[in-house]
Structure 1
Amino acid sequence: MRHLLLVTLVVVLVTGCSGAVAQNADHSGGSGPFTFVTGRDTTGYLQPLIDRWNQTHPAEKATLLELPEAADEQRAQMVANLQAKSDRYDVLGLDVVWTAEFADAGWIVPLERGTFPLDRFLPSVTDTAVYRGKLWAVPYTSNAGLLYYRKDLLAKEGFNPPTTWAELRKQARVLHDRYGIGGYAGQFLAYEGLTVNFAEAVQSAGGQILNRDGTQVTMDTAKATTGLDFLVNGLREGWIPRESLSYKEEESRLAFQEGRLAFARNWPHAYGPATTSPIGRKFGVTRLPGLDGPGSSSLGGINLAISAYSKRQKSALEFIRYFTGLENERRVLADGSFPPVWAELYDDPALIKRFPYLPVLKDSLLSARPRPASANYNQLSLVIASAVSNALTPPFDENSDDVVTSMKGQLNEIVRAR
């Protein structure tokens, strides 16, 4: 079965490499109403921001098209549209790991660096929008995983927020036993979220999966096995609830804010809704724990790009300039709890007063690692998510070392096929 999956992935990879990278783009024409397509807004912050643009640009109104919540499903719908060379999508909200693939296929157009104040953005976020030396998108939001915890329950038990896996395991088990709630959960359904959670576990054990440009598998088997065992043992021992195997971001957010979890790994956007949830202000956030100390998140976020088939490229470009500007980025944080890309906003006293987690988030972002800028990232992610899902599924009869060894072999074959 695994061999069949690998063969299928390699065929998809080889047949998908025929796209040519676009070399030039003309943004001088093409004004008028346009569409902005991105993943589903689960917080309700996005449409009001678009309405502000529409009020001052009545001849260039933006229409929001929301795709499913899961990144895999978003990508599938975007790819289908772009492969058909449809002009329905104008501005694309891309997961940061899609830049290389979409540029390599010729689906998005290059942008002029000087058009945007990139030097005022967080270090490293601009790199997620660059491929083969060209800027293909503009960072809109950044992202790093955080550990949400029930500070009221930790205080009752005399615990400090955990900084290591051993501390997390101990506290999660105690809180599970004494309060009848799940100990810890992340995003463990077999999709891109599971790839991210596994990558963070590997990084937090001192390893990595691929090099920065995605051309070489650099995974240390022992460290990757340690990271995988952290998750497997949590499920086997029961402090990670088995229902979390069906969790994406939204399911894990709801489980935590409804009081069904003591700890949860999630993105910063979960902070705002939690403050008005049944647990109110009884929670805190900290960096993800690791093997021997604070761990390392995967760098996430959304970049805005222009479809190569858009007939409204001038309006699309102006919208991106506006939407990634300083004042709109402030609203992205204030109204949506999404991490902005402007570095100075993380040091704003008024924002820190309202969002006390900003210093922790800044540290998490600076210590986060970007995912590989690989045109075949989707195939790599599918292999990882499938292998890790098998290991996490009861009755846990797969040896973690064997899973990692097999996964490494499949990743090598995909990278070499490229």
Structure 2
Amino acid sequence: MRRSLPIVLSVLLAAGCAVTGDEGGDDTGTGGTGPITFATGRDTTAYLQPLLDRWNQAHPAEKVTLLELPEAADEQRAQMVANLQARSSRYDVLGLDVVQTAEFAENGWIIPLERGLFPLDRFLPPVVDTAVYKGKLWAVPYTSNAGLLYYRTDLIKKPPRTWAELRTAAQEVTKKHDIDGYAGQFLAYEGLTVNFSEAVQSAGGQVVSPDGTRVTLDPAKAATALAFLQQGLREGWIPKESLSYKEEESRLAFQEGRLAFVRNWPHAYGPAKAKLGDKFAVTRLPGLDGPGSSSLGGINLAVSASSKHQHTAQEFIRYFTGLENQRRVLTEGSFPPVWSELYDDPELIKRFPYLPVLKESILAAKPRPASANYNQLSLVIASSVTKALSPPYSESAGDMAVSLKSELEEIIRTQ
């Protein structure tokens, strides 16, 4: 997570926008048509304009305008929440991180959607689950995501399947070459929550039940996961610099040749290819005894409850999540699509050879809990893990796991 000042500023700026914008309320309704605004994170927008232009040319009276939110997921959420709480109609279509569906639905900030309007049966099943809350469809999957292990093929003989193999390979490569071993996203923000959750899952456990109603954290398995990360930092094959890494910093470290291994999302593949050529490949995340399990990521598209043009917003989502646009999401944006058949397309596999591994990773991934209090759960996890990973490692992995379980149970009890 970034320091609190930028987040506070984002909230204040968003609130200011809400005050000066049109107010929602009585004029909202699923029948409204007219111009709409699509609000989504800046990190996902570079390729979007041509897709928006196609819609605008076909719908001159219902044009869509792109509104770029901050890159960090925490700051995106802060800005959207401030706007929606003010019942502003400035946002029509929201690009939500998959973990936000439950929170936004529970608070009445988005509207339920009719399942029959969308070809959900042709989407990857785990991806559809991220858009459902309490039996209703609240959003439509637009991109999916699963963590992958990137590795240097010119330095590594074969990809590691287990943590022990990763440790051995990382130690060997750091001794033979002027390069660090392994890193993920270890700054105290949502990325650290994801990395820790993946480690717990890859040790055979889970932090919270999928419906967000029970803490399922096994302290022994959580301690095993945390001890693996602590060991890497102590021994030096996980560089201490990685404690400040988010996705972008870890991506740059790998593609600039400073890391032999990195955990990152598929969007890092294209830039790495441009820099490293054929000197790298991807595989599934390693685990305690074999391939591990990623956290399921991605973006879902939802309709603001305060939008005055909800019919147009839904039709835009139907267009934007259609098969041809999903192909462009991959070919032009390098983001994982949600249509299952695209992962089996020979032409796409030739261009994006990681697709079979990515499909395996998505199908084996676990969703983060569908909890209206997910943001609070994530903050507690990231804070606790940060303390455990920071020198001098005064708190044992076992003690941290026990105290974390207690804190999470308190949040679940009070929700």
With the length of structure 1 as denominator, give the TM-score of the two structures: 0.91
Q: What code does the residue aligned with 2:172 have?
A: V
SS at 2:350 equivalent: helix
Q: Which residue number corresponds to residue 400 of structure 2?
A: 403
Partners in 2 of 1:42 and 1:65 — Cα distance?
Answer: 12
**Conserved in 2, the CA contact under 8 Å of 1:210 and 1:372?**
yes
Kept in 2: contact 1:272–1:336 (CA 8 A): no
Alignment deviations for residues 140-188 of structure 1 (CA, whole Å, 9 cap, x no partner) = 011100000011111xxxx210000011011111112221111111111
Assess if the C-alpha contact under 8 Å between 1:185 and 1:240 holds in 2. yes
Aligned partner (choices 98, 101, 104) of residue 99 of structure 1: 101
1:5 paired residue number: none
1:283 aligns with 2:280: yes
CA change 1:326–1:75 in 2 (3 A) is: same
Q: Distance in 2 between matches of 1:264 and 1:288?
A: 10
List aligned pairs for 1:195-234, cutoff 5 A. 195-234=193-232
| Aligned equivalent of 2:413 | 416
Note the 1:288-299 alignment, pairs <5 A. 288-299=285-296
Report if aligned partners of 2:45, 2:68 keep a CA contact under 8 Å in 1: no
Secondary structure in 1 matching 2:208? coil
C-alpha distance in structure 2 between counterparts of 1:178 and 1:63, whole Å: 52
Residue 46 of structure 2 corresponds to 44
Q: Distance in 1 between matches of 2:270 and 2:123?
A: 23
How far did residue 43 of structure 1 move? 7.2
Instruction: Give the Å deviation of 1:269.
Output: 0.8
TM-superposed deviation, 1:280: 2.2
What is the match of residue 254 of structure 2?
256
Partners of 1:252 and 1:300 in 2: CA distance: 17
Amino acid at match of 1:309: S
Rounded Cα–Cα distance in structure 2 between residues aligned with 1:56 and 1:244? 47
Q: 1:28 aligns with which of 6, 17, 31?
A: 31
Residue by residue over 1:305-346, the C-alpha shift from the partner in whole angstroms, topping out at 9 and shown as x without a partner, is 000111121211111000000000000011111111101101
Letter in 2 for 1:273: P
User: Counterpart of 1:323?
Assistant: 320
Shift of 1:417: 0.6
Match of 1:376 among 373, 378, 385: 373
Match of 1:65 in 2: 67
Q: Which residue of 1 aligns with 2:271?
A: 273
Q: 1:264, 1:315 → 2: CA distance?
A: 41
**Given that residues 391 and 398 in structure 1 are in contact (C-alpha distance below 8 angstroms), is that contact kept between their aligned partners in structure 2?**
yes
SS in 2 for 1:76: helix
Shift of 1:64: 1.3
Cα distance in structure 1, aligned partners of 2:97 and 2:175 = 38
Q: Distance in 2 between matches of 1:152 and 1:161?
A: 11
Q: Does 1:362 align with 2:359?
A: yes
Alignment partner, residue 8 of structure 1 = none
Gaps of 5+ in 1: 1-21
- Which residues of structure 2 form unaligned runs of 5+? 1-24
Contact 1:70–1:248 under 8 Å retained in 2:
no
Contact 2:126–2:362 (8 Å) recurs in 1? no
Q: Is the 8 A contact 2:29 2:308 kept in 1?
A: no
Return the match for 1:185 from 183, 195, 201.
183
> How many residues align structurally?
389
Q: What residue number does 2:126 align with?
A: 124
| 2:146 paired with 1:144 | yes
Q: Which runs of 4+ in 1 moved over 6 A?
A: none
Cα deviation, residue 28, structure 1: 1.6
- Pairing 1:308–2:289 present: no
In the alignment, the residues of structure 1 paired with residue 155 and residue 55 of structure 2 have an alpha-carbon distance, to the nearest angstrom, of: 44
Residue 134 in structure 1 maps to residue 136 in structure 2: yes
Tell me, what secondary structure is at the counterpart of 2:154? helix
1:160 is aligned with what amino acid? K
Deviation, 1:58, is 2.3
> Percent identity at matched positions?
76
1:59 Cα offset (Å): 2.1
Q: Which whole-Å CA distance do the structure 2 matches of 1:123 and 1:332 have between them? A: 19
Question: Within 2, Cα distance between the matches of 1:240 and 1:69?
Answer: 26
Instruction: Measure the CA separation in 2 of the matches of 1:230 and 1:82.
Output: 41
Output the CA distance in 2 between the equivalents of 1:68 and 1:355.
Answer: 28
Counterpart for residue 335 of structure 1: 332
Q: Which amino acid aligns with 1:133?
A: G
- CA-CA distance at 1:42 after TM superposition: 5.8
CA contact (8 A) 1:43 1:273 kept: no
Aligned-pair Cα RMSD in Å: 1.3
Q: CA offsets, 1:348-368, max 9 Å, x none? A: 011001001111001101100
